[in-house]
Structure 1
Amino acid sequence: MIAAFALLLGFQLAGETLRVALHLPVPGPVMGMALLLVYLIFRGGPDDGLRTTSGGLLQHLSLLFVPAGTGVMLHAGRLADEAGPILVALVASTVLGLAATGLTLHALTRRSRQEDAQ
């Protein structure tokens, strides 16, 4: 279990190191997760230790959101002051996400029908 946890932290560190070294706008843990994915693809999947450790972390995932919730409560006044722009950003990003998903599904469905017709 410790080796699997060290592996996860090592990939997070590698992602963060890459982000800092290359000045990329992607969060380090996301890059580390991509590196872990590539590692697991070449390795043929996770071993039992990594599977168990990951499952344990996922079972307690809600605890990892406590610091974020505390930060929201700490900055509640600022959030209230900027509620308008935040609301506009949330609504706009939701509409754009739904539109992109719908257009992608429409294009893929049309392409699938064309392939089936041939």
Structure 2
Amino acid sequence: MKYMNQVGIILGITFLGEMIHSIIPLPIPASIYGLIIMLFCLYFKLVKVENVKQTGGFLIEIMPLMFIPAAVGLLTAWKDLKSIWITIIIITILTTIIVMAVTGKTVQAIISKDKDRKVERK
């Protein structure tokens, strides 16, 4: 029953994101609205992490399966992408490097800030 409650919370927030997407005429995916809602719910403790942790972990574990439809979509669109595939690969490599660098710097800053806080408490 615990998993059903966790799935219900996640699906409810996802549905709320879909509703907001249908109301607000911005080119933002509904899933982004759902993620922002979940972030606020977790931050303001409307939803406790323990109430979605196990189901969220399961969804992260099966995430690679979620990319299969996108990969198949790329295969079916190959004739359209064939003329620009080198550009796509270069952009993909560059953005991956940029995301990795920014993520690494952000994590380093957070760890450094956390260490500073721990030193101040002692």
Q: TM-score range by the shorter chain?
A: 0.5 to 0.7
Between the aligned partners of 1:83 and 1:27, the Cα distance in structure 2 is 25
Taking structure 1 as the reference length, the TM-score comes to 0.68
Deviation of 1:86 after TM superposition, in Å, equals 3.9
Deviation of 1:81 after TM superposition, in Å, equals 3.2
Matched, 1:15 2:9: no
Residues 29-73 of structure 1 deviation map (CA, whole Å, 9 limit, x = unaligned) = 1111100111111117412x4111111111111111111111111
* 2:74 corresponding residue in structure 1: 72
Secondary structure of the residue aligned to 1:26 is coil
Q: In terms of Rg, which structure is larger? A: 1
RMSD of aligned alpha carbons: 2.9
Aligned residue pairs: how many? 100
* 1:112 corresponding residue in structure 2: none
> Identity of aligned pairs, percent?
23
Deviation of 1:82 after TM superposition, in Å, equals 3.7
Q: Which runs of 5+ in 1 are unaligned?
A: 106-118
Secondary structure of the residue aligned to 1:73 is helix
* 2:8 corresponding residue in structure 1: 6
Between the aligned partners of 1:87 and 1:53, the Cα distance in structure 2 is 34
* Pair 1:87–1:53, CA change in 2 (3 A): closer
Q: Which runs of 5+ in 2 are unaligned?
A: 107-122
* 1:116 corresponding residue in structure 2: none
Between the aligned partners of 1:40 and 1:69, the Cα distance in structure 2 is 32
